[in-house]
Amino acid sequence: MKFGSPASWARLATGLCLALTAAACGSSAESGGETTASRAPQPPVAQQPAVLPGRAAEQEDSAQRSGVHRLLTERQQAELAQAWGLPSLPLAAPPAPARKVALSAGPHVTLAGDDLPALVRRVPTDDRVVFLTVDDGKEKDPRFNRMMRELGLPFSAFVSGYLARSDYGYFRDLNAQGVRVNNHTVNHKDLRKLNYAQQQAEICGQQDELEREIGVRPVLFRPPYGEYTTDTLRAARSCGITAVPMWNEEAFPDRMEYRQLDRRLHPGDIILTHFRGTEDWSGSMTDMARQVLRTVTEQGFALARLDDYLG
């Protein structure tokens, strides 16, 4: 490995982090308890990595674990940020909660029926975190994956089969780097116009497709256009969906759009964006990521992994 360039340091950091336990890298640890009193975003000394719990455990090495926090000097951090066009490294999220959050009905959570999946526009948490969710799957930009991996930033994908199918390998790679690949239906139809059986085919068919192509059967589902009926929730429940995350903000390469009038992020907000590129946008997915990271960091938030809080 050639040392000295930000990219090489980033590769080293990523490689080391991936080789560590999830807890050592400050990421989701199913068995790890929430022990710290402070859950404010941490200074960017060691960034949270993408999560690979199974593989990480196999490759655990205590010597590497103790070294990762000292890995990057301030100068190297600055170089890494600069390499990705950022003024500074994003804030690292606090440890993931030991348990998924309990959901009760409120202004940002809708419970349409007793055991139906909850609709969530904002995750109830006091952590200074927000969640990035990337939908559809038309653009498959490996540079975006690399940026998020090198910066140790989590996000969640919501994939529609008819768009992903041209290259499921891209989403398998995402899954391998710790990004949960969730359900966004087979054909991205307006579900309000479909009957129950058709909706079930759209949602449960995508569960089957994700299981076949990627080996995952997610518990999070987002309906296309955010449109749904009670049948949608019943159909989703029938094939294992437990929560339906909506969004409060939408990110583009050149702007953020807010659904709330105060035009601010709030703890637990869900940011929507898309796997799109210059065919549809005025910039690339990495431009979009810079827009998100600038906004999130300026407002004192860190990106955390939605799947660690919800499901």
202 forms part of the interface with Zn ion (CB under 5 A): no
Count of residues near Zn ion by CB under 5 A: 3
To 10 degrees, what angle do helices 168-176 and 196-213 make? 70
Looking up tokens 């398998």, which residue turns up?
172
Report residue 304 as tokens: 């955390």
Least distance to Zn ion from the beta carbon of 103, Å?
A: 23
136 forms part of the interface with Zn ion (CB under 5 A): yes
What is the rounded distance in angstroms from the CA atom of residue 98 to the CA atom of residue 252? Answer: 32
Least distance to Zn ion from the beta carbon of 224, Å?
A: 5
209 forms part of the interface with Zn ion (CB under 5 A): no
Least distance to Zn ion from the beta carbon of 226, Å?
A: 9
For residue 296, give the nearest of 145, 127, 144, 177 by alpha carbon.
127
Q: What is the Cβ-side half-sphere exposure of residue 130, based on CA atoms within 13 angstroms? A: 27
Q: Is 182 or 295 the residue whose CB approaches Zn ion more closely?
A: 182
* H/E segment holding residue 58: helix 53-58
Least distance to Zn ion from the beta carbon of 182, Å?
A: 12
- The angle at the Cα of 180, spanning 114 to 269, to the nearest 5 degrees, equals 65
Hey, is 38 helix, strand or coil?
coil
* H/E segment holding residue 258: strand 256-258
For residue 310, give the nearest of 31, 42, 121, 94 by alpha carbon.
121
Q: Is 246 or 303 the residue whose CB approaches Zn ion more closely?
A: 246
Q: Do the strands 118-120 and 302-304 form a parallel or antiparallel pair, or are they unpaired?
A: unpaired
Closest residue to Zn ion using C-beta atoms: 135
Q: How many residues does the chain have?
A: 311
Stretch of residues binding Zn ion (CB under 5 A), selected from 55-63, 65-73, 79-87, 220-228? 220-228
Give the number of other CB atoms < 10 A from CB of residue 156: 24
Stretch of residues binding Zn ion (CB under 5 A), selected from 44-52, 72-80, 129-137, 227-235? 129-137
Least distance to Zn ion from the beta carbon of 169, Å?
A: 21
Least distance to Zn ion from the beta carbon of 188, Å?
A: 6
Q: Is 135 or 287 the residue whose CB approaches Zn ion more closely?
A: 135
Q: Is 77 or 183 the residue whose CB approaches Zn ion more closely?
A: 183
For 70-122, give the DSSP string: GSS-HHHHHHHHHHTT-SSPPPBPPPPPSSPPP---BTTEE--STTSPEEESB
Q: Is 154 or 224 the residue whose CB approaches Zn ion more closely?
A: 224
Least distance to Zn ion from the beta carbon of 166, Å?
A: 16
Q: Do the strands 243-245 and 256-258 form a parallel or antiparallel pair, or are they unpaired?
A: unpaired
Least distance to Zn ion from the beta carbon of 184, Å?
A: 6
* H/E segment holding residue 273: strand 270-274
Q: Is 224 or 277 the residue whose CB approaches Zn ion more closely?
A: 224
Q: Is 276 or 290 the residue whose CB approaches Zn ion more closely?
A: 276
Least distance to Zn ion from the beta carbon of 93, Å?
A: 25
Stretch of residues binding Zn ion (CB under 5 A), selected from 38-46, 88-96, 132-140, 230-238? 132-140
Q: What is the Cβ-side half-sphere exposure of residue 266, based on CA atoms within 13 angstroms? A: 16
Q: Is 56 or 159 the residue whose CB approaches Zn ion more closely?
A: 159
Q: Is 136 or 287 the residue whose CB approaches Zn ion more closely?
A: 136
- Which residues contact Zn ion (rule: CB under 5 A)? 135-136, 224
